[in-house]
Chains A and B, each alone.
Chain A
Amino acid sequence: MTSFVIAAVAMLVALVPAGIIIARGTAADAVIGFEFITSVAVMVFALLAEGFKRPSLFEFPVLVAMLLLGSGLVFVRALERWL
């Protein structure tokens, strides 16, 4: 297990507080937790791709990072208008 995989697992553990916020907080807190999880997920995918030496999997963090802004704005808009 390389240091990249260890870092990815540690970051996944750090997602637990964000999950608690999403489960127990208000709608605004949940959107903030979602943004946090999305940001960390990009790093986790990159770390796993590097840790397991799979160059093809490096496209996944790029894709998630591209979708981060769009999905975040969709949730924010929903929060502003309907939630």
Chain B
Amino acid sequence: MIRQVVTDVLLALAVLTVAASAIGLVVMPDAYSRLHYVTPAAVVAPVLVALGIFVAEGLDENTGETVLALVFMIAAAPFLSHATIRAIRVREAGDWRGHPPGEDTGNQPGNQPGNQPGNQPGNQPGNQPGDQRSDDDATAKGPQ
């Protein structure tokens, strides 16, 4: 009797977790937010189901196979979430960094406008990385 009650409670919690995740999936505005709601259904609910089967059946081969499926799911969930977020980012921004590869960001050493020939008016041989002043700025300032 106690076993039955505990099993029912565990299964009810699993169903509630999946239902809440499904609602979150619909309510959220964009794909980034929606992906958060896959994780409870992929990690929390399977644990509850496996526990429910374990309580009902005890330690037998059915429980073992359920735990095996659970292990595969828990191992796959973070990889899948990361890959999905990365793919969405690539679709939206062209690259997962947020800018296409090779595009100038202006904040990394060795990737300054002054280091690329012909990009800037101040691109003279004497310019150092990070020195983005144009010739006009340098002459207007005068000798120090």
Q: Chain A: residues with CB nearer than 8 A to chain B?
A: 3-4, 6-7, 10-11, 14-18, 20-21, 25-29, 31-33, 35-36, 39-40, 42-43, 46-47, 49-50, 55, 58-59, 61-62, 64-66, 68-69, 72-73, 76-77, 79-80
Number of A-B contacts defined by CB within 8 Å? 152
Docked complex Cα distance between A29 and B35 (Å): 9
Contact between chains at B79 and A33 (CB < 8 Å):
no
Interface string of B56-70 (1 = CB under 8 A from A): 110001100110111
- Chain B residues within 8 Å of chain A by Cβ, number: 50
Q: Which of B18, B26, B49 contacts A46 (CB 8 A)?
A: B49
Docked complex Cα distance between A36 and B31 (Å): 13
Q: Chain B: residues with CB nearer than 8 A to chain A?
A: 4, 7-8, 11-12, 14-15, 18-19, 21-23, 25-26, 31, 34-35, 37-38, 41-42, 45-46, 49-50, 52-53, 56-57, 61-62, 65-66, 68-70, 72-73, 75-77, 79-80, 83-84, 86-88, 90-91
